[in-house]
Chain A
Amino acid sequence: MSKGKGFWARLEDVPREVLYAILLIVFIIPMLNPIGFPVPISDAAKKWYATIDALPAGSAIMIDFGYSGGGEPELGPMAAAVYHHIFRKGGLKPITMSTSIDGTLLWDKVIAEVNPEKYGRKYGVDYIHIGYIAGTETAMAAVGKDLRATTNTDYHGASLDQFPIMQGIKDASSFKLLICYTTGGDQSEGWVRQWNTPYKTPYLCSVIAMMVPTMLPYQKAGQIVSLLAGAQAGEMELIVGVPARGIKSADVITLTHVLVFAFVVLGNIAYYGRKASERARGG
């Protein structure tokens, strides 16, 4: 009960609805009226871009859409920016699979956003999706060992043999690069164990921001070439030159982070204020 509580105690126990309301306001304003805060481009984003750029023509890239619907606002823009890069560069073979059951539908969403036809890219020739494969790490191991034994159809159910992009694709050794977008550590770490460790496939990984500290050991050990949070999609969009949802979110990220910092400071001021007033009353 707030009656009888001092000012500091009431500040310390601010109802959560008040905090939520302030956060919501700070969230909505830049979404409706983008402010245009500067966005630094990190070394990791530059390395990601350079890795794809350095691939020779004809290189096959395994892309895992391993995130669920909840992660789409964060990872969708990143995936879209990377697809823009791949399609613009041309000559590469992005072959996508999903270790998440939502992956195929989320891939559809991203492809619709990217519009490969704009780059003259055709499904089955320049890009393909081989479907959702259940089992997470088991799926990764099976595909790495023998892709055709694991699945022989694309996500529409059509035979892979009819698609020019799949010619010569047998197993992990057929791929020059692995990219994973995921909200689950099982996928991000699983690819390290099942592809990078046995087959030494270079690996680019994009995860939600809270997973980055836990994935850092792999990046520091060189098992992941570049690790990006989905929240860094704005950086990727800037490098590739396709500003979209990621850049728009950057303003929101800045303001909400500053707000939470302000809340933390306020909470500590309230805590010490309450302790001081209790000491003053008691002493």
Chain B
Amino acid sequence: MFVAALLVMVDYFLKIPGTGPAVVDLQNWGIILSAFALGFGAVNLFYLHTRHISRRTPGQWPFSIWILVMIVVTAIIGVATGATGPQYSWWYNSTYFALSATVYSSLGFYMTTGCYRALRARNVEAALLLVVGAIALLRNAPAIAVGVPIIIPMEAWLSAVPTTSAQRGIMIGAALGAIALGVRTMIGRETGFLGRLTEAERRGGT
């Protein structure tokens, strides 16, 4: 892991003959692994849902049958007509796309209730959040921006100054955190995700 990561980093910063093709291969392996993860997910779904069906898990097994039927039908259509064929496109648009867009759109409703409930001027910070949120909300309503043009430079300033600076701070912090985690992982000292929180435990202690 350390060697692979170092190779990619070295290729980015240094011009060393021979590293380029090796890194291209590593990147292509990464693409292949990602593609396999998709297939692995499908296999896992089959395994889990067939277990639900065989055990007649209450409240779950009819839906497990349904999901397996849909997976099989979609796969048959895709393989038989091609993933870019008109039949597959129709199937995709009628089922997955319609559902996906609907669920995504439901976010608008959740945000509405969130705004109604949470944007209360309970204290100074909340009032500030409320005012900034209201300005952004009205600026993004096209007709309001035309009717109340003062709101455009106000929102532009809010976006350009406090929002951008806060986002930059968050980005820098997150990037440094990712680098630190990467360093720990590369040198083999990040074991938290393996279930052993401390080095002592990793050595077999308590």
Q: Which residues of A contact B (CB under 8 A)?
A: 14, 16, 19-20, 23, 37-40, 68-73, 101-102, 104-106, 108-109, 133-136, 138-139, 141-142, 145-146, 149-150, 155-156, 198, 209, 212-214, 216-217, 220, 229, 231, 234, 250-251, 253-261, 263-264, 266-268, 271
Report whether B35 and A14 are in contact in the complex, using a CB–CB cutoff of 8 Å: no
Q: Does B159 lie within 8 Å of A256, measured CB to CB?
A: no
Whether, in the assembled complex, B72 has its beta carbon less than 8 Å from a beta carbon of chain A, the answer is no
A16-B109, A23-B109, A109-B93 are known; give 5 further A-B pairs, CB within 8 A: A20-B109, A250-B142, A260-B137, A263-B112, A268-B119
Which listed residue (A38, A69, A139, A253) contacts B101, Cβ 8 A? A69
11 A-B pairs within 8 Å (CB atoms) are namely A19-B116, A38-B142, A40-B146, A73-B105, A109-B89, A135-B33, A139-B31, A155-B84, A213-B167, A254-B142, A263-B116
- Chain B contact-residue range equals 35 or more
Per-residue A-contact encoding for B97-131, CB less than 8 Å = 1, 0 else? 10011011100110111011101111000000010
B119 and A234: CB pair below 8 A?
no
- Find the residue from A40, A150, A264 having the highest chain B CB count within 10 A: A264
Are A256 and B113 also in contact (CB < 8 A) when A145-B23, A145-B27 are?
no
Minimum CB–CB distance from B61 to chain A (whole Å) comes to: 28
Shortest distance from the beta carbon of B64 to any chain A beta carbon, whole Å: 23
Complex alpha-carbon distance, A269 and B24, angstroms: 60
Q: Kindly report which residue of chain B lies nearest to residue A251, judged by CB atoms.
A: B143
Q: Which residues of B contact A106 (CB under 8 A)?
A: 97
Binary flags per residue of B72-102, CB closer than 8 Å to A gives 1, else 0 = 0000000000111000110011001100110
With A156-B84, A257-B138 as contacts: A101 and B160 at CB distance below 8 Å: no
A260 — which chain B residues lie within 8 A by C-beta? 111-112, 115, 137
Give the distance in Å from the alpha carbon of A109 to the alpha carbon of B35 in the complex. 24
Q: Are the CB atoms of A138 and B30 closer together than 8 Å?
A: yes
Q: How many A-B residue pairs have CB under 8 A?
A: 171
Determine which of A141, A145, A209, A259 lies in contact with B140 in the assembled complex, contact meaning CB atoms within 8 Å: A209
Judged by a CB distance under 8 angstroms, whether B145 is at the interface is: yes
Cα–Cα distance between A73 and B141 once the two chains are bound (Å): 17
What are the 9 tightest A-B residue pairs by CB atom distance, in nearest-first order?
A: A70-B104, A69-B100, A37-B143, A257-B141, A134-B34, A135-B31, A138-B30, A142-B27, A134-B35
Chain A residues contacting B44 (CB-CB under 8 Å) are: none
- Nearest residue (CB) in B for A146 is B24
Which secondary structure dominates chain B's binding surface? helix
Closest B residue, CB atoms, query A275 = B122
Q: Is residue B163 contacting chain A, with contact meaning CB distance below 8 A?
A: yes
A267/B108 contact (C-beta < 8 A), A37-B142, A138-B30, A155-B84 known: no
Known: A68-B100, A134-B38, A256-B108. A216 touches B142 (CB 8 A): no
Does B134 sit at the interface, judged by CB under 8 A? yes
B163 touches A216 (CB 8 A): yes
Is B28 in contact with chain A by the CB < 8 A criterion?
yes
Task: Please tell me if B20 contacts chain A, counting CB pairs below 8 Å.
Answer: yes
Known A69-B96, A216-B160: A105·B103 in contact at CB below 8 Å: no
B34–A149 contact, CB under 8 A?
no
Q: Which residues of A contact B117 (CB under 8 A)?
A: 267
- Is the Cβ of A258 less than 8 Å from the Cβ of B84? no
Query: Are B100 and A14 within 8 A (Cβ)?
Result: no
Is B171 interfacial (CB 8 A cutoff)?
Answer: yes
When the two chains form their complex, are residues B38 and A101 in contact, meaning their CB atoms are under 8 A apart?
yes
> Which chain A positions have C-beta within 8 A of B93?
105, 109
**Distance of A217 Cα from B164 Cα, bound (Å):** 5
Q: Is the CB of A105 within 8 A of B92?
A: yes
